Amino acid sequence: MTTSSPLGGGSQEPTPPHVQDHPQQPGAPTTGPGTPKGLAVAALVAGIVAFLTGLLPVFGIVVGIAAVVLGILALRRRQPKALAVTGLALGAVGLVVSLLVTIGIGALIGSADDDEPLATATTEQEAPAPSSTPTDDDEAVTPTPTASADPDVPADWAAALEDAEPRAVSLGSSRAATYESLISGGATPEAAQYAVDTIGVDWQENAAKKAKQYRDGGMPVDTIHDQLTSEYGEAFTVEEADYAMAHLDD
């Protein structure tokens, strides 16, 4: 089709429509075949390793930090976003898990170190220190040297003397109480008499020990003398009870 020129100069061919070029906007990401992606791949690999080794103390922290750093660098250099973000996320998870494991192990080790000296100190405190101060009970059970039976005495007399020792020495009984105890135990009157005559106990000291025991047990002092001389009590003689009261504060 031809058109006539308004100036009358003949026909003119039609002009084809102008095709406008659209240049690529600056800053747009390039994902073509030539886009570098080394950092993104490295971040992904490091992230996977950190995720798998997160339960390992320290090592998981190191690999996790490497994955996070590589992921950030890959994003800043506009490398494949999916690889970089995945590696960064996996690295962060491995980093946090490994950090928690490391802290937990450190706390356990510190707690064990703190408990050991505490247990040692408790053991030392539980062991009572030996006391060098004698008590009234110690005085009551302190053995007094006793006479041994004559080899020529009858066997039952020797047995009565042996039975008299725990009563007269350890228990601090009176002469009469020891005699009655031997008779009750089956000794003959002769054997019992031999035992109390031969045992060699200071009956006055026995009375003094008994008096101190009654006083320490809370008995009024004015009733201790009667308790010592009573036949239903200790059965000491009046002289032995007087000695005990006179030495009550010794």
**pLDDT given at position 1:** 47
Give residue 140's identity as a one-letter amino acid code: A
Nearest to 31 by CA among 85, 84, 78, 83: 78
**pLDDT given at position 72:** 93
Nearest to 137 by CA among 167, 165, 168, 170: 170
Average pLDDT over residues 171-185: 89
Nearest to 191 by CA among 181, 202, 183: 183
**pLDDT tens by residue, 3-33:** 444 554 555 555 555 545 545 555 445 455 5
How sure is the predictor about 141, in pLDDT bands with cuts at 50, 70 and 90?
very low
Give residue 142's identity as a one-letter amino acid code: T
Task: Please check the confidence at residue 83 and state whether its pLDDT lies above 70.
Answer: yes
Distance CA 114, CA 120 (A): 11
Residues 23 and 71: beta-carbon distance below 8 Å:
no
- More confident site: 117 or 209: 209
**pLDDT given at position 33:** 57
Name which of 11-15, 133-137, 155-159 the model is least confident about: 133-137
- More confident site: 35 or 219: 219
Name which of 25-29, 93-97, 202-206 the model is least confident about: 25-29
Mean pLDDT, the chain, as a whole number?
A: 78
- Angle between helix 175-184 and 189-198 (nearest 10): 140
Residues whose CB falls within 8 Å of the CB of residue 62, separated by 6 or more in sequence, listed in order = none
**Exposure string over 188-209, b if 16+ CB within 10 A, otherwise e:** eeebbbbbbebbebebbbbbbb
**pLDDT given at position 56:** 86
> To 5 degrees, how large is the angle CA 134–CA 140–CA 145?
100
Residues whose CB falls within 8 Å of the CB of residue 36, separated by 6 or more in sequence, listed in order = 77, 79
- More confident site: 224 or 137: 224
**pLDDT given at position 246:** 92
Task: Please check the confidence at residue 85 and state whether its pLDDT lies above 90.
Answer: yes
176 burial class (0-12, 13-18, 19+ CB within 10 angstroms)? Answer: middle
Question: The whole model's pTM is what?
Answer: 0.39
165 burial class (0-12, 13-18, 19+ CB within 10 angstroms)? Answer: middle
